[in-house]
């Protein structure tokens, strides 16, 4: 593949690779399916990129997600990691979606259904004509968002979720000065609430610092609705929402590419997702093709599944990368450390595998990733587990174990997502940074996904997060290993999520990392083997 040095675009997946995947593989992703008749390289999902003055020539978001509710065990996901992570009033509100989660999961298309839908859409003259495409896409998205919003309201109406949501809004309304009611929707739940909330977070608003400080102290239930809207949408719409907000809309930052990470929560959470991993892989490759390589996916890996499939999950990863995926995403808060699992470290549970079983499959997984030059991305913050015990599994101990196992002769290439987290109370960020400075950690990277407290514009007090990042950037190799990431679509739960890259660019001014490295160069080095860039 061509290089992305000097700001060149990432190469889209070749037509030959794409056809190989569609017509079948050793994993049987397309068994029994005919190859769809797509025009050569249909790229109607590719956004035009507007570069802001804050954006370097090449900008890559290495940490995004475009899945929907059929791809995850939706009730367990909402009641467990999502609710636990938010905590407080908003966490309680999210947990109230649990009883209706399965009904909600019937709204979005499965991966297989969306694949078939996209092949039909891609033959529509209105989408193939560049002049009519923007209007066709806009009207399609707005209509679908309103449909989703109405269906959502029909499911939660008169349920505890509606009562709690309206109570939060009413309490906020009473406490807020009347002349500031315009700042949020400030409306009781209704058939248009989800659609309105999705639009609200990507609407640029110039707010005084004192107003931002006031907002930061208030609950933001609209963020729950925006997140739900993404979970209930077709994945192509999520790719478009991202591209519009960060790349093509007036005032956008100017993101050139996004990596969309699949997740595999099955076996750990319940119930079984409606969309299987193979169908998700096939669909995300199609989305990458339709976006002209703007979105490049990472395949999900879960060692619990690998134990059950006797290495099948690892084989799936290798095959996916051969066909155009840029890496693999692991999720230690699922119930495992990246390596070096000990019985005492693992949360108790009747169904959990043993530490030895986990280490056996993870050892093979890492060996295959190293042998095939596959970058591994992992959740690396004390968050998104079902409870605090699961959160701890994402910590440095597992990374120290795999780096020491392999030594400096065969170091794994890995990106620790969230870099310990912006509220890191346990020293993870510094410990991860130290690993970048040792010979065994020559392939060790991290991203700033969801470091919203790094921003001084959100009124939450950024000095602590900025001081922590500034300090680790002085440590050996760190400035050449830290990458920009957003954690979109988890980020849509926040106010003004569209401004995140601007906030990170502003917050890191004067720090030891250059914008060119932070927003693109370090990512090109980390993912060199799968992007066609020269190895560092």
Q: In this structure, what DSSP letter does residue 456 have?
A: G
The neighbour count for residue 26, using CB atoms within 10 Å, is 10
Which pLDDT band holds residue 457 (cuts at 50, 70, 90)? low
Q: Which residue has the higher pLDDT, 347 or 371?
A: 371
Task: Quote the pLDDT of residue 532.
Answer: 79
Q: Tens of pLDDT along 254-308?
A: 999 999 999 999 888 889 999 999 999 999 999 999 999 999 999 999 999 999 9
Q: Tens of pLDDT along 502-512?
A: 999 999 999 99
Q: Tens of pLDDT along 157-197?
A: 999 999 999 999 999 888 876 655 555 667 899 999 999 99
**CA separation, residue 244 to residues 388, 489, 524 (Å):** 36, 14, 23
Task: Quote the pLDDT of residue 321.
Answer: 97
Phi/psi zone of residue 301: left (φ > 0), alpha (ψ -120 to 50 degrees), beta?
beta
* φ, ψ of residue 223 in degrees (nearest 5): -65, -35
Task: Quote the pLDDT of residue 11.
Answer: 43
| Percent with pLDDT over 70 in the chain | 87
| Percent with pLDDT over 90 in the chain | 71
pLDDT exceeds 90 at position 215? no
Nearest to 103 by CA among 71, 151, 162: 151
Q: Which residue has the higher pLDDT, 383 or 142?
A: 142
Task: Quote the pLDDT of residue 32.
Answer: 35
Task: Quote the pLDDT of residue 460.
Answer: 55
* φ, ψ of residue 14 in degrees (nearest 5): -65, 155
pLDDT exceeds 80 at position 409? yes
**Cα gap 179→170, rounded to integer Å:** 16
Task: Write out the H or E segment, with its range, that includes residue 133.
Answer: helix 133-156
Q: What is the mean pLDDT of residues 340-364?
A: 89
Task: Quote the pLDDT of residue 371.
Answer: 96
Residue with tokens 């597992």: 398
**Per-residue tokens: 121:** 């859409």
Task: Quote the pLDDT of residue 200.
Answer: 87
Which pLDDT band holds residue 216 (cuts at 50, 70, 90)? confident
Peptide bond into 15 cis (omega under 30): no
Mean pLDDT is lowest, of 90-99, 108-117, 261-270, for: 261-270
**HEC assignment per residue over 483-528:** ECCCCECHHHHCCCHHHHHHHHHHHCCCCCCCHHHHHHHHHHHHCH
- Contact between 269 and 77 (Cβ < 8 Å): yes
The CA dihedral of 414, 419, 421, 422, to the nearest 10 degrees, is -160
H runs (alpha helix) in 323-418: 355-371, 388-391, 396-406
Mean pLDDT is lowest, of 209-218, 363-372, 377-386, 482-491, for: 209-218
Domains delineated in the chain: 18-28+53-75+253-531 (3.20.20.140), 85-227 (no CATH)
**Cα gap 380→129, rounded to integer Å:** 43
pTM, entire model: 0.91
Task: Quote the pLDDT of residue 48.
Answer: 94
Task: Quote the pLDDT of residue 422.
Answer: 85
Q: What is the mean pLDDT of residues 323-344?
A: 94
pLDDT exceeds 70 at position 14? no
Residue with tokens 């797509």: 38
**Cα gap 507→179, rounded to integer Å:** 30
Residue with tokens 């906030």: 503
**Cα gap 436→439, rounded to integer Å:** 8
- Contact between 42 and 290 (Cβ < 8 Å): yes
DSSP per-residue string spanning 254-303: ---EEEEE----BTTBSS--SS-HHHHHHHHHHHHHHTTTSEEEEEEE-H
Mean pLDDT is lowest, of 14-28, 75-89, 187-201, 400-414, for: 14-28
Give per-residue burial for 380-416: e unless 16+ CB within 10 Å, then b.
Answer: bbbbbbbeeebbbbbbbbbbbbbbebbeeeebbbbbb
Angle at which helix 160-175 crosses helix 221-231, to 10 degrees, equals: 140
**How far is CA 334 from its chain centroid?**
16
Per DSSP, what are the bridge partners of residue 298?
261, 327
Task: Quote the pLDDT of residue 28.
Answer: 46
Task: Quote the pLDDT of residue 19.
Answer: 44
pLDDT exceeds 60 at position 326? yes
Q: In this structure, what DSSP letter does residue 446 have?
A: E
pLDDT exceeds 70 at position 472? yes
Peptide bond into 489 cis (omega under 30): yes
Per DSSP, what are the bridge partners of residue 483?
447
Tally the residues of the chain. Answer: 536
**Per-residue tokens: 216:** 């930061």
Please provide the average confidence, as pLDDT, over all residues in the chain: 88
pLDDT exceeds 80 at position 370? yes
pLDDT exceeds 60 at position 31? no
């Amino acid at each position: 593949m061509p290089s992305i040095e000097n700001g060149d675009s990432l190469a889209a997946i070749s037509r030959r690779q794409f056809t190989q995947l569609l017509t079948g593989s050793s994993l049987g992703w397309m068994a029994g399916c005919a190859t769809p008749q797509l025009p050569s390289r249909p790229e109607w999902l590719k956004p035009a990129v507007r570069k802001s003055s804050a954006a370097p020539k090449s900008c890559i978001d290495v940490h995004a997600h475009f899945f929907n509710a059929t791809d995850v065990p939706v009730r367990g996901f909402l009641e467990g990691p999502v609710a636990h992570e938010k905590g407080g009033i908003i966490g309680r509100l999210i947990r109230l979606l649990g009883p209706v989660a399965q009904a909600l999961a019937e709204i979005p298309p499965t991966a297989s259904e969306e694949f078939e839908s996209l092949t039909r859409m891609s033959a529509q003259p209105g989408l193939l004509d560049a002049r009519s495409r923007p209007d066709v896409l806009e009207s399609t998205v707005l209509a679908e968002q309103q449909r989703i919003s109405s269906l959502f309201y029909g499911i939660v109406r008169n349920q505890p979720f509606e009562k709690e949501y309206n109570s939060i809004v009413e309490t906020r309304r009473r406490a807020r000065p009347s002349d500031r009611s315009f700042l949020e929707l400030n409306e009781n739940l209704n058939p248009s609430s989800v659609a309105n909330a999705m639009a609200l977070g990507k609407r640029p608003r110039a707010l005084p610092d004192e107003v931002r400080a006031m907002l930061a102290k208030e609950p933001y239930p609209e963020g729950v609705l925006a997140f739900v809207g993404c979970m209930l949408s077709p994945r192509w719409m999520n790719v478009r929402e991202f591209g519009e907000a960060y790349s093509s809309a007036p005032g956008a930052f100017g993101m050139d590419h996004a990596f969309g990470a699949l997740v595999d929560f099955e076996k750990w959470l319940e119930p079984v997702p409606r969309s299987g991993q193979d169908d998700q892989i096939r669909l995300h490759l199609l989305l990458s093709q339709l976006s002209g390589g703007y979105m490049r996916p990472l395949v999900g890996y879960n060692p619990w599944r690998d134990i059950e499939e006797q290495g099948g999950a690892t084989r799936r990863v290798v095959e996916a990368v051969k066909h155009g995926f840029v890496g693999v995403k692991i999720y230690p808060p699922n119930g495992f450390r990246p390596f070096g699992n000990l019985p005492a470290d693992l949360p108790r549970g009747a169904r959990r595998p043993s530490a030895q079983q986990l280490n056996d499959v993870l050892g093979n997984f890492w060996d295959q990733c190293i042998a095939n030059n596959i970058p591994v991305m992992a959740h690396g913050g004390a968050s998104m587990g079902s409870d605090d015990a699961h959160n701890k599994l994402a910590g440095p101990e597992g990374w120290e174990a795999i780096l020491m196992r392999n030594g400096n002769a065969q170091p794994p290439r890995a990106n620790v997502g969230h870099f310990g987290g912006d509220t890191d109370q346990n020293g993870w960020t510094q410990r991860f940074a130290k690993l970048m400075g040792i010979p065994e950690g020559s392939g060790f990277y991290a991203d700033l996904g969801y470091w919203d407290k790094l921003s001084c514009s959100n009124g939450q007090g950024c000095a602590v997060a900025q001081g922590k990042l500034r300090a680790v950037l002085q440590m050996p190799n760190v400035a050449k290993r830290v990458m920009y990431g957003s954690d979109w679509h988890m980020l849509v739960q926040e106010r003004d999520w569209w401004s995140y890259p601007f906030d990170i660019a502003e917050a890191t001014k004067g720090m030891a990392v250059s914008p060119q490295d932070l927003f693109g160069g370090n990512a090109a080095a980390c993912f060199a083997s799968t992007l066609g860039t020269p190895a560092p």
